[in-house]
Chain A
């Protein structure tokens, strides 16, 4: 058994979808992949049956805000991209930073950005995203 601790994760991002680079200062990410289902039950059936349909994903990335940290500004500001063509590429790593290994890759749109400044705490940024197009899972 090889368990993995969260701090070994990382996030790579490129707003233009060309060259992925690590966002410095991420502290968590989450991804939920959902597959829709189509009901194929017929008259006479006694058990409902389904086939899988469209697959989509959504999630969040949380950062310890540092205006000088590599990659943060491009990531945070992608939410204000108008007419977003969903060309931004993401790679979420559970461990390491070897592309297409222990990670999930996809293109997506940042749909929410929340920055929080609280007395006595670090300034934290939380961004939500949805995937667009193929989701490639390399979590095996």
Chain B
């Protein structure tokens, strides 16, 4: 047992999305701190993973101890403006199904929230929805 590898957790989350969106029909996906210039009137996905609270779960300090690490993955789905929400929700379902109550490499995903339409898309010029997936990882020291 060892301290949690946050990069491995991030890779688990992002790798799952990258693999899905590489399959047909493929979609561009961009992650934290990556440059991306979207093509106007195209569909694309942005995935932002953040780690949040940690809490003690058991005795043991730095040996034999358990911690709960929780985090949130925000997935923004961008589709062309003015053509209705259908195409966006198709992508949203693919993403939702990907994480819905799934356990992968020790990462427990909750039931996702969304896709929820956002009134002020960022960047502008797209129809944007957001899927939020809370996750937790039990760290075993």
Contacts and interface: CB of A to CB of B under 8 A. Distances in A.
B31 interface: no
A122 B56 CA distance: 13
Interface in A27-71: 27-28, 63-64, 66, 70
Contacts of B65: 7
Contacts of B118: none
B47 to A, nearest CB: 24
B57 A24 contact: no
Nearest to B141: A24
Contacts of A27: 56-59, 66
A126 interface: no
Contact of A10 (B64, B66, B138): B64
A10 B60 contact: yes
Contacts of A28: 59
A125 B64 CA distance: 17
A64 B57 contact: yes
Contacts of B110: 120
A30 to B, nearest CB: 13
Contact of B59 (A11, A66, A120, A122): A11
A8 interface: yes
Contact of A26 (B59, B138, B140): B59
Nearest to A71: B64
Interface residues of B, number: 13
A5 to B, nearest CB: 9
Nearest to B68: A122
Interface in A66-120: 66, 70, 120
B61 interface: yes
Interface of A: 6-11, 22, 24-28, 63-64, 66, 70, 120, 122
30 contacts: A6-B59, A7-B56, A7-B58, A7-B59, A7-B60, A7-B61, A7-B65, A10-B59, A10-B60, A10-B64, A11-B59, A22-B60, A24-B64, A25-B58, A25-B66, A26-B59, A27-B56, A27-B57, A27-B59, A27-B66, A28-B59, A63-B58, A64-B57, A64-B58, A66-B66, A70-B64, A120-B110, A122-B57, A122-B68, A122-B138
The 7 residue pairs across chains A and B that have the minimum distance between CB atoms? A27-B58, A24-B64, A10-B59, A7-B56, A9-B59, A26-B59, A64-B57
